[in-house]
Amino acid sequence: MLSDLLEQRIEVAFLFTGTCWTMWWNIQWKRVMGFWLRPPYRPWVQWLFRSFFALCFLGSVYTLCQELQTHPVSKHDFLPTIGITAIMCAVVALMSVLGLWMLDRRDRKSDVPVE
């Protein structure tokens, strides 16, 4: 019983974290594209990535809503679930910051003229 409750909290937290992450993709889409491509981005590539990000966000919202309908979070479980979500969001944010920092370093090194 306790294990099932913990699993449910973690699953909801994971889905909520995924939803937040895909929302960030949609807000910062040009930055996130940098994980895969270097600028300048062609219009059709931008459209393709933005469509992909939007579909990922809609899918994550749909899945989160399905999970919450199937297994609603009770008042007793709300705070622990939010705590787990906060930890997961912090880890994802740190990973993203580290990845963007590494991309920035790579781009700065490639901009240095070779003599």
**Domain count across the chain:** 1
Confidence (pTM): 0.80
**Do 58 and 24 contact (CB within 8 A), yes or no?**
no
Q: Is residue 108 part of a domain?
A: no
Give CA–CA dist 94/100, Å, rounded.
10
Of 110, 113, 109, 102, whose CA–CA distance to 34 is shortest? 102
Residues 73-95: pLDDT tens digits?
Answer: 888 888 989 999 999 999 999 99
**Do 16 and 8 contact (CB within 8 A), yes or no?**
no
> What does pLDDT average to over the chain?
88
Q: Is residue 76 part of a domain?
A: yes
Which residue range is the domain that position 28 belongs to?
7-97
| Single-letter residue type at 105 | R
3 pLDDT more than 80 = no
Residues 58-69: pLDDT tens digits?
Answer: 999 999 999 999
